Structure 1
Amino acid sequence: MTKTLKQTVDQRLAVFKMKMDAALQEYVTDEIVQHMLNLTNHSKLPKELYYLVAKMVCEVAEPEVDESGEGIVNPLAGVKSLKVGDITVDLSGSSSTAKAKDVDEAIQSLLQDYNRQILSVRKLRW
């Protein structure tokens, strides 16, 4: 059974009930693949790394929201601000700049965590 990289990533996202915007998924996948190609000296991503790429992409994805309310992990997820007495706390933190920075930091952390597995398929340069 031969799958493309996109099929492998989509399948893992579906199995683990994760969601990710299509454009963000493509960007994160491309960045991870490019890093792997640079690190392994390959011109094309080896099929042995497809599942590792899918795993790394899923670590950046967010869990799907359960509409029934049974699987809610954070009860304050929809709250933008909270005021108790004189204290006001803004919990939104959803600026596009902050999100982009978070995604870049998450990708860099992932690449460092999985370097050993990536290097197992490295080609030597002479």
Structure 2
Amino acid sequence: MDSRELLKIAEEARFNAYVPYSKFRVGAALLTSDGKVYTGCNIESASFGATNCAERTAIFKAISEGEKKFVKLAVASDNSDKNQPTWPCGICRQVIVEFADDIQIITGSSKGDIIEINIKDLLPHYFAKGDF
């Protein structure tokens, strides 16, 4: 699957977001090594610590279904309509690298500019399993 198509799926996934507080919808689409796609959206809670980002929702969904190998993760938000990138937050970056330390992150707009970057470039010197 090409990156533009994966980003389009992420853009669609944002419409499932539950965002009564921020009103900022985010969607994610995670591509596995065998071609399956798992989507996620951000889900907010009045107890903000219980809020979950779209990227982690997609990853946890895939892991819970037995998936272990990921190649691409597309992230989109309402900013995608303005051709602006949406980057994973710090917590998501750490979770992403935990499960896929060589994954490509895709953001931008399926109708405009696309940015692709490796997770290692977004989170250099990350904390890894072998560090403890």
Query: How does the TM-score come out when normalised to structure 2?
Result: 0.27
Q: Bigger relative contact order, structure 1 or 2, given CA contacts below 8 A and separation 6+?
A: 1
Q: Pick the structure with greater CA Rg.
A: 1
- Which structure has greater strand proportion? 2
- Which structure has greater helix proportion? 1
